[in-house]
Structures are given as structure tokens and as C-alpha cells.
Structure 1
């Protein structure tokens, strides 16, 4: 076996070398997102809740009657994909669609009493999830710094 072939075999049998991308912002953001979502999914697995569903319910607590398109845009979700999300929440009785009184073509979203009660049950789980993230970051100051940096990337 030639030396270059032996090197390839040795690399394939060992840990992958990430040195070319280990400091890439996009790579680290994606790995962080996966870690956060994994923790979220484990915490909420018994509730059958996805991060997106939770985000919609949270937004609607302060934005009753928001247009479906506005909520989708606020969460960065394509409208076509958002319809299925709202369908699922509506089928569970957590969200209600209503025709806008101003423009009957527009759907407004409202969190239901059942949705609010469900969200109340979820809040302690979410708080524990957030506390685990804070602990990994080293506290509130580190979280605030991270959030500030992330905002600069997309604002």
C-alpha cells in the first residue's frame, strides 16, 4: 500500500478532522442549533411538541389576531410550510383561525383557552431548558452577549 493510501485509510478509521471548518461561524451556529433543538426535543418529547409549534404559541400570547402571514414571516417560515403547522395546532385545539374583519381574505390567528392552558403546563419545562442553556453558556451575561451577537448577524 502506498503511503498516501495508508494515510487515507488511517484517517477514515479515526476521528474526522474538522480543522478546516472548526472556527467557521456557520458551522458553529448550525452545531449550536442542533444541540439546542436536541435538548428542547428531549425536554418536550412527552408533550409531542416541536420547537416551531412552541414558538407559534408563544408569539400568539402577545399577538392575538396577528395575520397568519405575519407570524410565518416573524418566525422565518415559508407560508406554504406554515399552513401545515397551523393546521396541526388548530387540530389540537390550541389555535383558531378567523377571517379578518378588515379583509375577509386574510386569516388571523388566535391562541385558544386550551392553547393557553397547554402553554402554562409547558412553561416549567421551557424554563428548565433555558436554565440548562444558561449553565452551558456560563450565565446570563454570556447569554446576553450571545444574543447581541446573533442579532447583529440578522438585523
Structure 2
């Protein structure tokens, strides 16, 4: 049995069309169809990281007028609460590597938010203090965090869930 040239071309065109349709179905959709995460959406580490990114994004938005990052805010809070402690102790408590911490302190000092003062007990060490400007900026930052950032998290989670989440995350941070 022979197939006419027209039928052969028609079959070839149909096969190519079906193949193209399959390729379009497997290709990413230009309309923005989300990728399927599969098991990834059940990985605690992945979900924690995604949550952290969202929280940091909101924090940066709330702190835009003060140009403070979460790490800088944390440093200012620790220095306020622990005046006269050295930079090694603060960096260690926050889990910030020494080179990164020195660069951050350089930035905070250049903005006149904190100062490093040579320790009278150990001349190799520097203690950290807030400047008057640092105290004023931190005061404003704490108000913004409370009224915008933390308030949004509290609204999203509710008080009991917020406390439970802090307890669970603290357990991971301290015991894992």
C-alpha cells in the first residue's frame, strides 16, 4: 500500500504540530505559571529561609528611612543593652564573622551611630558605645519596628502563635 505525497506531508505536519504542542506544554509558561516545588515545600530549612527572606524584606521596607539592616539594628540593640562590651563579644553573640562585623562597624561609625573605644583593661580590644545620634536613631528604629514590622507579624500570626513560633525557633537555634 502506498501513501500519497499529500497524505505523507499531512501526517508529517500533524506529528510536528503535536511535538511542538508537547514542547510548549513542557516549557515554562510566559504567563508566569509557578514552578511546582514538590518535596521542597515540605523541607523545614527551605520554608524557614523563605520566611526569613520575607521578614527581612519587610524589615528593610520599614527601616528604609533610617537605612538600617536587620544586622545593624541588632548590633545597635546589643550595644545599647550591654554598654562597654567589646566588639568580639557582640559579633560572637550575633554569629557575625569578624571581617563582616568590622565592615559593619566601619559603616555604623561613618554614620556616627556608634564608636569603638580602646579598652582600658585590654589595649588590643575595643569596646562599643552608642553615640548620641546612634541613641536617637535606635529610638526611632525601635518605634518603627514595634509599630510596623512586629505589628504586622503579630497581626499575621496572633499572639499565641507568635510566642509558640519564637519558642520553637529558639529551640532550633539553641539545640540543633
TM over 0.5: yes
The answer to whether structure 1 residue 87 and structure 2 residue 102 are counterparts is no
The answer to whether structure 1 residue 8 and structure 2 residue 20 are counterparts is no
Q: Which moved more, 1:112-121 or 1:124-133?
A: 112-121
**Aligned counterparts of 1:33 and 1:47: Cα–Cα separation in 2:** 21
Contact 2:79 2:129 in 1 (8 A): yes
* Alignment gaps of 5+ in structure 2: 1-18
Corresponding residue for residue 93 of structure 2: 74
- In the TM superposition, residue 8 of structure 1 has moved relative to its aligned partner by 2.3
Superposition TM-score, scaled by structure 1 size = 0.91
Higher gyration radius (CA): 2
- In the TM superposition, residue 5 of structure 1 has moved relative to its aligned partner by 4.6
Q: Secondary structure at the match of 2:115?
A: strand
**Aligned counterparts of 1:117 and 1:15: Cα–Cα separation in 2:** 44
The answer to whether structure 1 residue 61 and structure 2 residue 86 are counterparts is no
**Aligned counterparts of 2:79 and 2:34: Cα–Cα separation in 1:** 45
**Aligned counterparts of 1:90 and 1:82: Cα–Cα separation in 2:** 12
Superposition TM-score, scaled by structure 2 size = 0.81
1:29-68 aligned at under 5 Å gives the runs 29-68=48-87
* Alignment gaps of 5+ in structure 1: none
- In the TM superposition, residue 110 of structure 1 has moved relative to its aligned partner by 0.8
- What is the aligned-residue RMSD (CA, Å)? 1.6
- In the TM superposition, residue 88 of structure 1 has moved relative to its aligned partner by 0.9
- In the TM superposition, residue 2 of structure 1 has moved relative to its aligned partner by 8.0
Q: 151, 156, 159: which one pairs with 1:136?
A: 156
Task: Please list the CA deviations of residues 85-125 of structure 1 after superposition, one character each: whole Å capped at 9, or x if unmatched.
Answer: 10111111111101111110011111122211111122221
Q: Secondary structure at the match of 1:21?
A: helix
